[in-house]
């Protein structure tokens, strides 16, 4: 049974999207030993005074001052084929940390938002259990079947990445094989848990508020 509340991340990635204000994404930073900032996102994050462990990315957007001051914790990867969020996830994966909460991955430029969200599927396929926590809910990548515990009335959306044979229990509206993103949105739970069966990969977005 997967749950929104039982996730125990070993590391937090801070992206360059809108910095969260909701307590759920922010709580992952409290006492976290491995906060990894994506490149220039560190400039803004460092102003909060919260803990930082590494700055990872191609380091083309970090300020010259912080590039110098934080040189010992910067890990530079120049690969043009991946974005900074992926560089951070792969860096953690290489260190053996595969349970990752990602915050500040959405908001602002929508092309970044869409890219960052969809990358959760790629990370999952590489053995990384990463979730994106926004100010509104959490994106959880799933392959095959999954069950979730959350209060009745929780709003849930499902985004297919090639998955077929969708079936659900505990959701108000039946699932089918989606051909567009909107078709799996704005469902809600009728019990205190729900389960999804499918062949293939998909994202579940669970809103914090009912």
Contact positions vs a copy of itself (CB under 8 A): 83, 106-119, 121-122, 134, 136-137, 139, 155, 157, 159, 161-162, 179-182, 185-186, 205, 207
Please identify, using beta-carbon distances, which residue of 47 and 209 lies nearer to a copy of itself: 209
Least distance (Å) between residue 157 CB and a copy of itself: 4
Between vectors from CA 50 to CA 62 and to CA 59, what angle results, nearest 5°?
A: 15
Please identify, using beta-carbon distances, which residue of 52 and 203 lies nearer to a copy of itself: 203
Please identify, using beta-carbon distances, which residue of 33 and 180 lies nearer to a copy of itself: 180
Least distance (Å) between residue 2 CB and a copy of itself: 18
Please identify, using beta-carbon distances, which residue of 11 and 119 lies nearer to a copy of itself: 119
Least distance (Å) between residue 163 CB and a copy of itself: 12
Least distance (Å) between residue 134 CB and a copy of itself: 6
């Amino acid at each position: 049974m997967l749950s929104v509340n039982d996730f125990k991340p070993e590391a937090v990635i801070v992206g360059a999207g809108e910095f969260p204000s909701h307590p759920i994404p922010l709580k992952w930073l409290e006492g976290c030993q491995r906060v990894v900032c994506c490149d220039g996102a560190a400039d803004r994050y460092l102003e909060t005074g919260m803990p930082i462990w590494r700055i990872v990315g191609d380091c083309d957007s970090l300020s010259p001052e912080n590039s110098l001051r934080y040189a010992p914790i910067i890990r530079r990867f120049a690969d043009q084929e991946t974005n900074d969020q992926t560089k951070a996830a792969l860096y953690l994966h290489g260190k053996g940390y595969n349970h990752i909460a990602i915050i500040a991955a959405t908001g602002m430029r929508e092309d970044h938002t869409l890219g960052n969200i969809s990358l959760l599927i790629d990370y999952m396929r590489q053995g990384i259990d990463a979730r994106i926590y926004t100010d509104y809910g959490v994106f959880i990548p799933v392959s095959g079947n999954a069950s979730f515990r959350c209060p009745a009335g929780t709003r849930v959306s499902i985004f297919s990445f090639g998955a077929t044979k969708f079936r659900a229990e505990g959701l108000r509206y039946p699932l089918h094989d989606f051909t567009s993103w909107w078709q799996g949105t704005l469902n809600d739970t009728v019990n205190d848990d729900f389960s999804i069966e499918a062949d293939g990969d998909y994202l579940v977005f669970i809103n914090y508020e009912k």
